[in-house]
């Protein structure tokens, strides 16, 4: 009986997954203006997080709060694009789902704002 760890398919899966990750990132960067703007701002804020944070915990909180914005923004875009493909008409559930996705993004910005304010001023 062959071991699962001896199979080369697990490495192949990792390589294919990484390729898909790069393609998805390129697609989002190319087609989503808000993602590009937030990405550039995130680069600046992540660098600032490294410089501002006095302890490793502070640096981690500052940086992860910014990265969370990017993650939630991508999830919101996926949700919106998927719903646009599935529901062709302007259904009330479509509007509700998109509004909830926008609320997620807003909450992630609020989380980052509160995190930065608390670490900078308290």
CATH number reported for the structural domain that contains residue 22 in this entry: 1.10.287.3610
Is 2 within a domain? no
Domains identified in the chain, total number: 1
18/23 Cα distance (integer angstroms): 9
Is 84 within a domain? yes
Is 55 within a domain? yes
H helices of the chain, in order, are 9-31, 33-52, 56-86, 92-121
Task: Respond yes or no: is residue 73 known to be catalytic.
Answer: yes
- The mean pLDDT value for 35-52 works out to 95
8 has a pLDDT exceeding 90 = no
Query: How far are the Cα atoms of 24, 39, 43, 73, 120 from residue 47, in angstroms, in the given order?
Result: 24, 12, 6, 20, 15
103 has a pLDDT exceeding 90 = yes
At residue 3 the predicted structure's pLDDT band, cuts being 50, 70 and 90, is low
Summarize pLDDT for 76-95 with one digit per residue, the tens.
999 988 888 887 777 788 88
Q: How confident is the model at residue 65, as a pLDDT?
A: 97
Indicate the pTM of the whole model.
0.82
From 27, 54, 56, 73, active-site residue? 73
Structural domain harbouring 40: 9-121
- The mean pLDDT value for 1-29 works out to 79
Is 1 within a domain? no
Contact 35, 69 (CB under 8 A): no
At residue 113 the predicted structure's pLDDT band, cuts being 50, 70 and 90, is very high
Q: How confident is the model at residue 89, as a pLDDT?
A: 73
């Amino acid at each position: 009986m062959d071991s699962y760890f001896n199979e080369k398919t697990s490495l192949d899966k990792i390589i294919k997954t990484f390729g898909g990750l790069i393609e998805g990132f390129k697609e989002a960067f190319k087609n989503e203006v808000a993602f590009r703007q937030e990405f550039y701002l995130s680069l600046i804020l992540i660098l600032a997080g490294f410089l501002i944070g006095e302890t490793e915990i502070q640096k981690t909180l500052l940086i992860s709060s910014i990265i969370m914005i990017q993650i939630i923004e991508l999830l919101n875009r996926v949700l919106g694009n998927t719903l646009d493909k599935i529901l062709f008409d302007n259904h009330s559930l479509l509007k509700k789902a998109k509004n909830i996705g926008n609320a997620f993004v807003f909450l992630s910005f609020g989380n980052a704002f509160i995190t930065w304010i608390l670490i900078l001023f308290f």
